[in-house]
């Protein structure tokens, strides 16, 4: 039986390249087509020597495939995705163009009117730990942003168990690859080296994703989420520190920290890529992998839940999770091609 034919639109960005790297070792599919307007006509391995195992030419237009990844920038991606959907193809959009359910949010957060608001209802937000069944039946999956993936996974068990007050603070730090591969002064080595900066304090574009997904799980009053992202001088990796006050009398009489970890272990017990760890995790522990490591604990002085979560922003935060979604959409074992551990050192 022929393997599903897979294509990548815009392979030349960091997410597209990570998709190609991971898909090159995937046993259940054939990567048959990659595009990139700036590099069209070049051999993929010549343009990117680390992909020397792939004998593909970067094309200007995608060949016929069964499933396509669109790694185009926001607003540009929808232009590529919509014709594929009209032709009956399965698509995983790596941009934000189909993540939000409310079309009005695109004007507010991205500055454009959504070109196909009717498609937003059918798009499935691609966190398998939340929407596994829907992803398996979807034609269009909106792969989440890296910040929402890291933060939402950290907080879902607490929100679903209704053990925290609605005020939540999320402090996240991302490696520079999260800013993309295009030339920006703020991403230059001399700008980011030995530096740490908070940005988008008036509201980051990933905030509505976090509110949308966690808000759908909250049983009480609406969540009030403060989200502060930071750029940290490393190539890849993400760490989120999440804070919320525990509701009184929601946990038993045993040590609260132990009970919290038990709650989290139970919630993620059957999840192949989420690990509840016994000490605060390092970003290095998940680098190059599709894993998310989570450490929940309790501060008895303030009564606050503290959850530390780490992912690789290009792995579970982008390409790895995209392939996890692809496996579900194609009826393949969810873990196929994704069980490699983190890189060390």
pTM of the full predicted structure? 0.95
CB contact set of 283 (below 8 Å; sequence gap of 6+): 175, 234, 237, 238, 239, 310, 312
Cα 220 to Cα 116: distance, rounded to the nearest angstrom: 32
pLDDT of residue 179: 75
> For 267-282, how does the pLDDT look when each residue is reduced to its tens digit (9 = 90+)?
999 999 999 999 999 9
DSSP string, 213-257: HHHTT--SSPPEEEEEEEE-SSSS-EEEEEEEEEPTTSS-SS-HH
Given 87, 146, 150, 242, the catalytic residue: 146
> By three-state DSSP, how is residue 147 classified?
helix
Domain ranges of the chain: 5-122, 147-314
Residues in the chain: 345
Are 198 and 143 a contacting pair, CB within 8 Å?
no
In the chain, what are the helix, strand and coil shares in percent, each to the nearest 5?
Answer: 35, 20, 45
**Under 8 Å CB-to-CB from 118, ≥6 apart: which residues?**
none
Q: In what order do the strands lie in the sheet with 224-231?
A: 197-198, 224-231, 164-174, 238-246, 304-311, 292-299, 274-276
| Region 147-314: CATH code | 3.30.360.10
Strand partners, 161: none
- Neighbour count for residue 246 (Cβ, 10 Å): 19
CA distance 96 to 286: 24
Q: What's the confidence (pLDDT) of residue 253?
A: 58
pLDDT of 38: 85
Q: How far is CA 277 from the centre of its chain?
A: 20
Predicted local distance difference test score (pLDDT) of residue 252 = 63
* Distance of alpha carbon 225 from alpha carbon 337, whole angstroms: 35
Architecture of domain 5-122: 3-Layer(aba) Sandwich (3.40)
Write out the two tokens for 124.
């499935």
State yes or no: is 146 an active-site residue.
yes
Beta strands at 164-174 and 238-246: parallel, antiparallel or unpaired: antiparallel
Given a cut of 50, the residues of the chain with pLDDT beneath it are none
User: Which pLDDT belongs to residue 181?
Assistant: 73
C-alpha Rg value of the chain to the nearest Å: 20
Closest CA to 14 of 315, 310, 273: 315
Tell me, what's the pLDDT at 185? Answer: 78
Q: Pick the closest to residue 142 from 120, 116, 117, 124 (CA basis).
A: 124
Tell whether the torsion through CA atoms of 264, 268, 272 and 273 is positive or negative.
negative
Please name the residues in contact with 126: beta carbons below 8 A apart, sequence gap of 6 or more.
92, 135, 141, 142, 143, 144, 321, 322, 325
**For the chain, first and last CA: distance in Å?**
40
* Cα–Cα nearest to 11, from 3, 22, 26, 27: 22
Instruction: Tell me the three state secondary structure of residue 197.
Output: strand
| Angle at 75 (CA atoms; ends 69, 77), nearest 5 degrees | 15
pLDDT at 23: 98
């Amino acid at each position: 039986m022929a393997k599903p034919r897979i294509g990548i639109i815009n392979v030349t960005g960091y997410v597209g390249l990570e998709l190609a790297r991971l898909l090159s070792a995937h046993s259940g599919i054939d990567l048959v087509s990659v595009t990139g307007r700036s590099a069209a006509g070049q051999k993929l391995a010549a343009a990117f020597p680390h992909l020397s195992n792939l004998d593909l030419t970067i094309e200007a237009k995608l060949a016929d495939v069964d499933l396509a990844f669109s790694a185009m920038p926001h607003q540009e991606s929808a232009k590529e995705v919509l014709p594929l959907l009209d032709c009956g193809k399965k698509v995983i959009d790596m941009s934000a163009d189909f993540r939000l359910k409310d079309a009005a949010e695109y004007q507010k957060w991205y500055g454009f009117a959504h070109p196909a608001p009717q498609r937003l209802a059918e798009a499935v937000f691609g966190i398998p730990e939340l929407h596994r069944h829907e992803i398996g039946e979807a034609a269009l999956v909106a792969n989440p942003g890296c910040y929402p993936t890291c933060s939402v996974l950290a907080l879902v068990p607490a929100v679903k168990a209704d053990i925290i007050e609605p005020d939540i603070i999320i402090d996240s730090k991302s490696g520079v690859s999260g800013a993309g591969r295009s030339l920006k002064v703020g991403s230059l080595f001399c700008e980011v080296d030995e530096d740490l900066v908070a940005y988008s304090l008036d509201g980051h574009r990933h905030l509505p994703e976090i509110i949308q997904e966690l808000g759908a799980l909250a049983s009480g009053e609406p969540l009030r989420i403060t989200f502060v992202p930071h750029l940290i001088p490393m190539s890849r990796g993400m760490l989120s520190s999440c804070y919320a006050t525990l509701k009184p009398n929601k946990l038993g009489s045993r040590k609260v920290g132990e009970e919290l970890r038990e709650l989290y272990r139970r919630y993620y017990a059957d999840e192949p890529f989420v690990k509840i760890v016994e000490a605060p995790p390092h970003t290095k522990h998940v680098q190059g992998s599709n894993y998310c490591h989570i450490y929940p604990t309790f501060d008895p002085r303030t009564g606050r839940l503290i959850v530390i979560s780490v992912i690789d922003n290009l792995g579970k935060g982008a390409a790895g999770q995209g392939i996890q979604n692809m496996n579900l959409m194609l009826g393949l074992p969810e873990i196929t091609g994704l069980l490699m551990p983190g890189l060390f050192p």
